[in-house]
Amino acid sequence: MAGQKEEDSRGPLIEDQGADAARMRRRAFAGQIIAGILIIFLWEFLTRIGWLDSYYWSSPLTIVRTGWTAITKGTLLQDLAYTSGTTIIGFILGTLAGSVIGLSFWWSGLYAKIAEPYLIAFNAVPKLALAPVLVIMFGIGFNSKVMLAFLMTVVVAAIAAHSGVKNIDRDLEKMLISLGAKRRHVFMKVVVPASMPWMVGILKINISLALAGTIVGEFISSRQGIGRMILYAGQVLNMDLVWVGVVSLSVLSIVMYLGTVWLERRLMRGRNPKS
Amino acid sequence: MRNFALCRPNHPGKGRDRRVSELEVVHCSKYYRKNGEQLCTLKEADMRIRSGRFVSIIGPSGCGKSTLFNIISGLARPSGGQVLLDGKNITCESGHVGYMLQKDLLLPWRTILDNVIIGLEIRGVPKKRARERALPMLQKYGLKGFEYDHPDALSGGMRQRAGLIRTLLYDKDVILLDEPFGALDAQTRLQMQSWLLQIWNDFRKTVLFVTHDIDEAIYLSDEIYVFTHRPGRIKARIDVGLPRPRGEETMMDERFLQLKRELLLMLKEEREPV
Ligand SMILES: Nc1ncnc2c1ncn2[C@@H]1O[C@H](COP(=O)(O)OP(=O)(O)O)[C@@H](O)[C@H]1O
Ligand SMILES: [Mg+2]
């Protein structure tokens, strides 16, 4: 009897998939929120009772307070705008240029073969190590950071687009040509849309690479930006302000991540989600 | 003793009068180079296909049927010989005939409707006009309700329908179909054969049809070309001569069975020695 009852309470194993997924999503979201709040509480609690040294770890409340001062009395918002602006511009330029380079490999197999090893070699170069050179070349202002973000993203985008091009079914090209298409038609109607999932797939990676490039650029030398703020706070041993910088960057990173998710959706609009 | 009275060897250009929209394959050969060796895939094929006919090509796999289609459609260059349409040399020129390749090759990111209009788009017809033209066609030929679906939501038969409608919308007098029903189950295949005959009846195109199914070839065609084992040569040309319209009873016809016996014998000769 008891065993019977237990089985009933578990409910059927196979359910309506749509309803199941929706319930799962709601529950997961609630769980995520609760976990986040718990972590913050734990952080606050542990620094208060002294298990975590609040000099190094600061604490959520102190961070909020310091952050508020940095907004009202300092230049936190301007710094945020500067850092996000450089990142986004570098990201857009790098991703676009990379995609164009990658797609251009479709036009000539010979050119693609010649260029490929150089692409791989350039991908292996640690671009961040070039930062000092770039700062000297492009100055300590905006340009050097955009350039770093650009270099961080361009090769990734080029390789992604090239993979897309390489994976195109050659027979699709034959089919279009048999319908009277010229190569430019094939390019527009098959090559670009067929490579789109590859190019879109690296957007999330590229936005964080661009941010990393920008921040390293600001670390090297800059008058503005969150990177400079963190460096400065570290030099004057203001750990609370360092944490404000780190939290701001995290928030920025999340916002830009959501932005790329939106962009992904737009670029893949009208497509079958499965394809 | 074998009776091949019905098969006559093919002598193109001899005696018969020239007609419009006639497709001629003159002495076409194709060699591929593989590991330094020359590999003959198609050997001196001669065909003459009169306008409005339904012509099947049957032969063992790998005998160069797809190669022949690639040559006729202008996608491949023959090593020798030429292709004529209405007496005009169209060798190596694409865009003169409709060609449905062996795979359905629908673009997975486009809806069925947008897939079938791609030929019109390439020709510069505005999307909206092209859609208006394609919609009734999809609805008439069995894709009603699937217009706005993506290809992977469709069954194999439906995808082949879409592929063929795309080829038809390209609106050429000659269409080449490379084993369009090869991957379908027997039941669907029968449905699709009747469907194809209906379309052929409505549009009156010249159809060249590759198949490895003897029943299918006899049921659909006016004439059948039999290819030899590699290197592919034309072994025989058979006039089917069964009355139209054809239906299930056609397959019980004496003549149908007789043709089937002959074709079976011929293809048996071409089977690869094991
Ligand atoms: N582009 C190519 N390069 C080299 N060999 C090819 C090429 N296309 C086809 N072949 C060869 O030609 C032969 C005939 O191919 P195909 O025309 O596809 O045969 P079928 O369609 O009759 O099965 C095959 O053995 C194949 O390996
Ligand atoms: Mg084939």
Calculate ∠ Cα B268-B270-B274, nearest 5°.
85
Q: What is the pLDDT of residue A162?
A: 95
B43-56 residue pLDDT tens: 888 999 999 999 99
Relative to the CA of B69, which ligand 1 atom is closest?
17
Reply yes or no on whether the pLDDT at B33 is more than 90.
no
Sequence-distant contacts of A262-268: CB under 8 A, at least 24 apart: A263/A200, A263/A203, A264/A200, A264/A203, A264/A204, A267/A196, A267/A200, A268/A196, A268/A197, A268/A200
- Chain A residues touching B170 at Cβ < 8 A: 179-180
Nearest partner of B256 among B237, B268, B241, B235, judged by Cα: B241
Count of positions (residues) in chain B: 274
Section A251-265 average pLDDT: 94
Residues A158 and A254 in one domain: yes
Reply yes or no on whether the pLDDT at A225 is more than 90.
yes
Tokens 């991703």 belong to which residue?
A95
B181-216 residue pLDDT tens: 988 999 999 999 999 999 999 998 999 999 989 999
- Is residue B166 a contact partner of residue B118, using CB atoms and an 8 Å limit? yes
Domain range enclosing A8: 1-52
User: Could you give the number of structural domains in chain A?
Assistant: 2
Task: For chain A, give the percent of residues with pLDDT over 90.
Answer: 83
Q: What is the ipTM of this complex?
A: 0.84
> Which ligand is nearest to the Cα of residue B58, counting in written order?
1
Q: Is residue A274 part of a domain?
A: no
Q: Is residue A97 part of a domain?
A: yes
- Is residue B258 a contact partner of residue B246, using CB atoms and an 8 Å limit? no
Q: What is the pLDDT of residue B201?
A: 92
Q: How confident is the model at residue B38 (pLDDT cuts 50, 70, 90)?
A: confident
Measure Cα distances from B152 to A197, B13, B71, B86, B117 in Å: 17, 46, 30, 39, 18
User: For the ranges A181-190, B99-108, B195-204, B228-237, which has the lowest average pLDDT?
Assistant: B228-237
Residues A116 and A202 in one domain: yes
Structure tokens at B137: 């066609």
Residues A4 and A127 in one domain: no
Instruction: Check CB contact under 8 Å for B118 and A176.
Output: yes
Reply yes or no on whether the pLDDT at B6 is more than 70.
no
Edge-to-edge strand order for the sheet containing B54-58? Answer: B7-8, B234-239, B223-227, B54-58, B206-211, B174-178, B98-100
Residues A114 and A206 in one domain: yes
Residues A228 and A248 in one domain: yes
Q: What is the pLDDT of residue A15?
A: 67
Q: Is residue A46 part of a domain?
A: yes
The CATH number covering residue A79 comes to: 1.10.3720.10
What does pTM read for this prediction?
A: 0.84
Residues A1 and A89 in one domain: no
Residues A40 and A113 in one domain: no
C-alpha distance from A271 to closest chain B C-alpha (Å): 5
Section B141-166 average pLDDT: 93
Sequence-distant contacts of B12-19: CB under 8 A, at least 24 apart: B12/B46, B12/B47, B12/B48, B13/B48, B16/B48, B18/B87, B19/B50, B19/B51
| Residue A193: closest C-alpha in chain B | B109
| Residue A183: closest C-alpha in chain B | B122
Q: Is residue A273 part of a domain?
A: no
- Is residue B72 a contact partner of residue B176, using CB atoms and an 8 Å limit? yes
Residues A21 and A128 in one domain: no
Residues A152 and A250 in one domain: yes
Structure tokens at A128: 């961040």
Please give the backbone phi and psi of residue B84, each rounded to the nearest 5 degrees, phi first: -120, 135
Q: What is the pLDDT of residue A9?
A: 58
Structure tokens at A200: 């879109």
Nearest partner of A174 among B76, B116, B81, judged by Cα: B76
CB atoms within 10 A of CB B156: 16
Q: How far apart are CA B233 and CA B40, in angstroms?
A: 10
Nearest partner of A245 among A206, A220, A218, judged by Cα: A218
Mutate to test the interface with B, among A168, A178, A271 (most CBs of B within 10 A): A178
Q: How far apart are CA B11 and CA A7, in angstroms?
A: 79
Calculate ∠ Cα B12-B13-B18, nearest 5°.
120
Q: How far apart are CA A219 and CA A169, in angstroms?
A: 46
Q: What is the pLDDT of residue A10?
A: 64
Q: Whose CA is nearest to atom 8 of ligand 1?
A: B67
Q: Is residue A186 part of a domain?
A: yes
Residues A153 and A209 in one domain: yes
Q: Ligand 1: does its nearest atom lie under 6 Å from the Cβ of B61?
A: yes
Q: Is residue A272 part of a domain?
A: no
Structure tokens at B71: 């040559």
Residues A66 and A47 in one domain: no
Domains annotated on chain B, with CATH: 21-97+172-270 (3.40.50.300)
Q: How confident is the model at residue A11 (pLDDT cuts 50, 70, 90)?
A: low
Q: Is residue A27 part of a domain?
A: yes
Reply yes or no on whether the pLDDT at A229 is more than 80.
yes
Q: What is the pLDDT of residue B1?
A: 37
Residues A81 and A207 in one domain: yes
Section B100-108 average pLDDT: 91
| Residue B153: closest C-alpha in chain A | A272
